[in-house]
Amino acid sequence: MRFVFTPPAETATGLLGLPWHQPLEDWDDDRLTEIPQRGISRHVVRFISEGGEVFALKEIPERPARREYSVLRQLRQLGIPAVDVLGVVVDRPDDLDAILVTRFLDYSSSFRALFANPRGAHLTDRLMDAQVELLARLHLAGVMWGDCSLSNTLFRFDAGALAAYLVDAETAEIHPRLSDGQREYDIQTAYEKVALELLDLQAGNLLAEDIDPIAAAADLVDRYRRLWAELTDEEVLQRHEQRYRIAERIRRLNQLGFDVDEVELVDDPSGGSRLRLTTRVAEPGHHRRVLFARTGLDVQENQARRLLADIASFRGWLEQVEQRRVPETVAASRWLTEIYEPVVAAVPDHLRTRLDQAEIFHEILEHRWFLSEAAGADVGTTAAAEDYFARVLPEVPEDLVTPASALTEQEEPRVRAG
């Protein structure tokens, strides 16, 4: 038996004592835990809590297990949002299938959990946008998913939006560039699978009555085509408008989270120039890195953008009050100790696992805006936080997201085979 894993080794060593010689379905270990509202898998999947982390173990034949291990590692290098693979166990006794080990995505939700516990308006729109963006990122990077579905995706709240992460890469293929046919195969697969998944939700009375599963799946395809056109379509520019039109197109792509690798202008018979853009997945986490460098906070990208905006606002207020220029690093440090940390420390203990800290802070900022609008004056962060803790956060369902810290080793293990 062999356990092939990625560094750091300390993470893997805690798992070495598991009963790898037994079929995964037969395991009886104190570290087995249950994930509420988890998705459906055609394989045996179980979850282990070890060293403060939760790991997903999937039992599949050795060849696809090795392949998925390799693909997930490459996706990480490409900056694609996907689960983090730890290792693969092969050559198990008695011809047992291999086991792929991935880290469970903390504070994530399955699409079933999201529909069972909807929060905020336009849930279907936000979910479809996240799924479409993930698929477009894969295609730009030369990755054909092969099994695009909501069941193979996990979602995380990111400053009110949803961020999608690929979970299952069994059928994924990585190429230098995808053909239109390969992309169309993925799009058609997404349409069929999402339609079936939404029909299943409808049968379980988990889908709003005004949502047509077939129409929603078709809308996903339309959203993808519009995004792909924005990312890749050529357009003819007249010479007098080239400079600002190019800047405008690049700015729109940046706002969508994509970078432009190359700009090409080719003479067009109309007298203008044909604009060709080579678009690529943006270097992941720019705002995350900036926020981390200034505050030490490690959050998601949209959350980081929101917190940096609040720091900038706080800095402006400081400079007005103190009548002097305040360096960015000083403003960030004071914001952390005077604003962010007191708010986070004030979260009631029994509500801390409802959402991650940065998402709670983001929602408090949103709540402050609504309260201030109603009052006709700024109510302040402290008052907004107190009202949010009393009236909003308790309404977030406990099983909407699954933080690793909320999982206990005393839970009864559950196996779902398929």
Span of 80-89, 273-282, 385-394 with lowest mean pLDDT: 273-282
C-alpha closest to that of 187 among 226, 146, 152, 216:
146
Query: What's the confidence (pLDDT) of residue 308?
Result: 87
User: Looking at residue 416, what is its pLDDT?
Assistant: 34
Quick one: average pLDDT of 67-74? 94
Give me the sign of the Cα torsion angle 286, 289, 292, 298: positive
Q: Which CATH class is domain 2-105?
A: alpha beta
pTM (global) more than 0.85: no
pLDDT at position 252, please? 77
d(CA 246, CA 262): 12
Orientation of helix 123-140 relative to helix 180-203, angle to 10°: 160
pLDDT at 67: 93
Determine the pLDDT at residue 342.
95
Give me the architecture of the 111-232 domain, per CATH.
Orthogonal Bundle (1.10)
Residue 207 to residues 86, 116, 127, 204, 210, Cα–Cα distance (Å): 35, 8, 13, 8, 8
DSSP 378-415: ---HHHHHHHHHHHTGGGS-TTSSB-GGG--TTSPP--
User: How large is the average pLDDT for residues 186-211?
Assistant: 92
Domain map (residue ranges) of the chain: 2-105, 111-232, 235-281, 347-406
pLDDT digits (tens, 9 = 90+) for 306-322: 898 889 888 888 888 88
Residue in 304, 283, 279 with CA at minimum distance from that of residue 229: 279
**Confidence label for 128 from pLDDT (cuts 50, 70 and 90):** very high
Q: Which residue has the higher pLDDT, 4 or 44?
A: 44
C-alpha angle with apex 228: 222 to 229, nearest 5 degrees?
90
Contact indicator for 307, 381 with CB cutoff of 8 Å: no
User: Tell me: the pLDDT tens digits for 201-244?
Assistant: 999 888 888 889 999 999 999 999 989 988 888 877 776 666 66
Per cent of the chain over pLDDT 90 is 41
Structure confidence by residue, pLDDT tens digits, 329-353: 899 999 999 999 999 999 999 998 8
pLDDT tens, position by position, 376-418: 878 888 999 999 999 999 988 877 777 655 544 434 333 333 3
